[in-house]
Structure 1
Amino acid sequence: MALDQARKAEKRVMDASGDLPPLLGVPLAVKDLDPVAGVPTTYGSRTASAAPAPADSGTVARLRAAGALFLGKTNTPEFGSTCYTENSVAPPTRNPWNPDLSPGGSSGGSAAAVAAGLASVAHGSDGGGSLRIPASACGLVGLKPTRGRVSGGPGRADLMGLATAGPLTRTVLDAALVLDAMSGSGSGDHHAAPPPPPGGTFTACAAREPGRLRIGHYAHTGSAEIPVHPHVLAAHEEALRLLDALGHRVEEIPEPGDAHFGGTYRDDFRVLWTAMASAVPVDPAREHELEPVNRWLRERARATPVPVLMAAWGRLQQGVRSLAAATEPYDAVLSPALALPPVPIGHFTGGGPEEEFRLMNEFTPFASVHNVSGRPSVSLPLHLSPDGLPIGAMLTGRHGGEGTLLSLAAQLEQACPWSHRAPPLWHH
């Protein structure tokens, strides 16, 4: 399939008399939560149909129109429910930096494909950190756009607006280019992002100097008291020094969960996450085939009264408004992407679903608040740990502020280049 697409792309180049699509001939992998016409979509689950998808998802259709070559589907945990990429339909996805380690998730297959050089860029999605988590673990740029920037339709429900498609790439400019190709609204969308930035494209933003910015930062988890690994704290301090050296004004701010969500953030987000897990259609006769964590999440959702769900969602929305007001003076906010460096395959499993959920929270306490807020957020591979593993720095912008975020990210990449870094397997 990819070779046939490549031949057609080559013919278009040879026959072209005008502008060509921006991704023409670029090899791209698609996360196996989005349908690609003619290819089965497993959703990482044994309960999925093996029939080929009849049509592309909306995001895949836009990437196809932009000229991308689809190399294939990439592995994902069942329904994208976890922050690691292990399931019952495929072997566990391994981190190219060390195959004993996890690439994170849920876009772990896409991240591993780009980090290993199997694809130039990849499509992923992010409902609670699922682009930024594997980007941090695999040494990539992982960009979660503003809510509504990338339409999920037709074919994918918007649900509560937590999830959005986005790119996984090796450079900021590539992330901007893929975001330009992905962006667009669709009929029936629940959310709409602000208009594109001045100049019309995010690619143009990535080529501009950001000017002197005011940046808030935090690296603690407040009352959750989740330990942050010393290598992660060292990476955060290194990012602060770099921002200061570039002339930006950097100020410490409170951890959002305590400061703006009344200390109930993690409990309320868990209610939403269980509701999302329960929304995936599964034949009741096949529920026993689901992964244990998804059976557990769906059981919890069925035991949660609707008023409890609505109250949790209401408190989170109030917190988002408080967070927006408090951070409005800042052009961006810096935090770690993860609390830990990459962890071993099997780190999360074996102790039962409740223990698994606790370990996931301890691994990724920083990312999901920006899914709730809907703000754009990016993990950048600024740091390597003393043992040679990537650790991401996460920058989050204002609502609709991908342009400023990309401009700042590109400046950081120029000051601290990372594209020459590659997993050890590249050197063999």
Structure 2
Amino acid sequence: MPELFNQMPTALELAGLIRSRQISPVEVLTDTAERIQALNPQVNAIVWSDDEEARRRAAAMADVLVHASDEELPPFFGVPLPIKDLTEVAGWPATYGSLAVSDEPKLESELVVRAFERAGFLLFGRTNAPEFGPIPVTENLRYGVTRNPWDLDLTPGGSSGGAAAAVAAGMFSIAHGNDGGGSIRIPASCCGLVGLKVARGRVPSRNFSWEGGSVEGVLGRDVADVAAVLDQIAGPDPLQWYNAPAPEQPFATAIGAEPARLRIGMVTTSPFGLPVDAACLGAVEATAQTLESLGHVIESFELPNIDDFLGPFLNIVNTGLAGYRDVDWTKTDLHIQRNREAALGVSSLDYVQSVADLQRWTRGFLSRWGSDFDILLSPTMAILPPRAGAVLEELHASGETSSSSLTVLQMAVFTSAFNMTGQPAISLPVHVTATGIPVGIQLVAGPWDEYTLLGLAAQLERAFGWRERRLPFSASQG
């Protein structure tokens, strides 16, 4: 495969090579396995794989390719895709990054996994995640620290940091992730990728984690991949309690369409008065200038005080631990034990009150879209990627007093509210610092409006040209 291109292609490009019979699924899988072998020891993104089973499925796909017409092939036929270790796949272990969970194979796949398989992806490998996923970095006691391919001393973010590192390192063209407080967008920013958090109820799930605030998706190198995958995994699902409205047209059609003139609300100050790194502000300002040059209107906007949001949100996050079964909680990390203790202190009445408080808070917050502006522009994070391992050190150093840290707040302060409002939001890799560290910006659309969001993101991609940015290293350099 390497002789066909200089670096890992996008998922759509790779699918096109397979569909045109320039390369077989077996060759693609072999190349992927070689890249993992060469690169994973440096970044620790992939924590489990069944190479023999993957080769068997790749061989079966190669046989299908001999006889099938193009029309019979699903859009991502033969493209390898790793699954985050927080999401279940039938026949695979799912340890949730924890020493407290066995590696017994799961019996049932999550709905998004089944959708990936229908889309033709070749599922291959587990990506690392923080234990049970509540912190925005990827470090745990079971598998260790995942590192950022752009700078191995830094974190790739989290909780989908293993996924982001696998794509940024060039092991995969695209990777599965999920986002409950920024867990797709934060790693996308840290690793120079595109990361979309979809609207609440857009992608079907067996149950709504964090009141539907946690959603499924992917991280990729360009907007077209992300939009095309969304078309394959989106609902509606008639068996699900809540659904986003069906789109009027495929999300992928937004990529080539020039968006209408939009009012952009630009945010440069952080909730809680936290300082924002100059590089993060610079990325927002450069994006605003570009948007203005493209005909959009830019107006300054300050996020409202979110003090009333934080307590109810943490109640919902901590009590989300109740959804995990067969866990020996005595073997979990100290910060998870603190989270569970906090959750046990939340009565059912307190929980219901938290949900009601967030629903009321959300109504006023959402009313600004369509009245004051159409799209919100902000930094994805208030800081650059911190040192790998630093957050667990902070959490352990805090003794018995805290289940969070200042670094966690700085990383998630711009992203978490939009999980509870249920809005679609995307992180885009518009900037790289002088020292070679990616910096993302966040765009947030109104309820269920992924179409406008993806169209504007694609317009910015054409203007900034990040698709042409080379990955930090390749298998030949590994």
Tell whether the structures are fold-level matches, with TM greater than 0.5.
yes
Letter in 1 for 2:376: V
2:223 aligned residue (169, 172, 196)? 172
Letter in 1 for 2:217: G
Q: Distance in 1 between matches of 2:321 and 2:106?
A: 22
Mapped contact 1:176–1:203 kept (Cα < 8 A): yes
Mapped contact 1:214–1:248 kept (Cα < 8 A): yes
Structure 1 residues 171-250: aligned runs within 5 Å = 171-197=222-248, 200-222=249-271, 224-250=272-298
Q: Distance in 2 between matches of 1:265 and 1:159?
A: 14
Q: How far is 1:49 from its partner?
A: 2.4
Which residue of structure 1 lines up, in the alignment, with residue 302 of structure 2? 254
Mapped contact 2:336–2:403 kept (Cα < 8 A): no
Structure 1 residues 17-416: aligned runs within 5 Å = 17=69, 18-153=71-206, 156-197=207-248, 200-222=249-271, 224-256=272-304, 258=305, 263-283=307-327, 286-329=328-371, 330-350=373-393, 351-352=397-398, 354=402, 356-416=404-464
Mapped contact 2:424–2:449 kept (Cα < 8 A): yes
Q: Distance in 2 between matches of 1:45 and 1:384?
A: 33
Q: Distance in 2 between matches of 1:206 and 1:114?
A: 21
Give unpaired runs (5+ residues) of structure 1: none
Q: How far is 1:47 from its partner?
A: 1.8
Mapped contact 1:121–1:167 kept (Cα < 8 A): yes
Letter in 2 for 1:270: L
Q: How far is 1:317 from its partner?
A: 1.1
Q: How far is 1:164 from its partner?
A: 0.6
Other structure's SS at 2:354 match: helix
Mapped contact 2:209–2:320 kept (Cα < 8 A): no
Decide whether aligned partners of structure 1 residues 187 and 425 sit closer, same or farther in structure 2, where only a CA change above 3 A counts: same
Q: How far is 1:425 from its partner?
A: 2.3
Cα deviations across residues 22-52 of structure 1 (Å, max 9, x unaligned)? 1111111111111122211111111222111
Decide whether aligned partners of structure 1 residues 101 and 138 sit closer, same or farther in structure 2, where only a CA change above 3 A counts: same
Decide whether aligned partners of structure 1 residues 355 and 159 sit closer, same or farther in structure 2, where only a CA change above 3 A counts: closer
1:12 aligned residue (52, 64, 73)? 64
Q: How far is 1:172 from its partner?
A: 0.2
Q: Distance in 2 between matches of 1:8 and 1:252?
A: 55
Q: How far is 1:264 from its partner?
A: 1.5
Q: How far is 1:254 from its partner?
A: 2.2
Mapped contact 2:358–2:420 kept (Cα < 8 A): yes
Q: Distance in 1 between matches of 2:390 and 2:210?
A: 30
Letter in 1 for 2:325: P
Mapped contact 2:188–2:427 kept (Cα < 8 A): yes
Other structure's SS at 2:247 match: coil
Q: Distance in 2 between matches of 1:157 and 1:362?
A: 26
RMSD: 1.7
Percent identity of paired positions between Structure 1 and Structure 2: 38
Cα deviations across residues 284-307 of structure 1 (Å, max 9, x unaligned)? xx2110111110011011123333
Q: Distance in 2 between matches of 1:362 and 1:214?
A: 27
Mapped contact 1:158–1:189 kept (Cα < 8 A): no
Q: Distance in 2 between matches of 1:188 and 1:227?
A: 45
Equivalenced residue count is 417
Provide the TM-score with structure 1 as the length reference.
Answer: 0.93
Other structure's SS at 1:414 match: helix
Q: Distance in 2 between matches of 1:7 and 1:139?
A: 33
Q: How far is 1:107 from its partner?
A: 0.5
Q: Distance in 1 between matches of 2:56 and 2:351?
A: 48
Give unpaired runs (5+ residues) of structure 2: 1-52
Other structure's SS at 2:441 match: strand
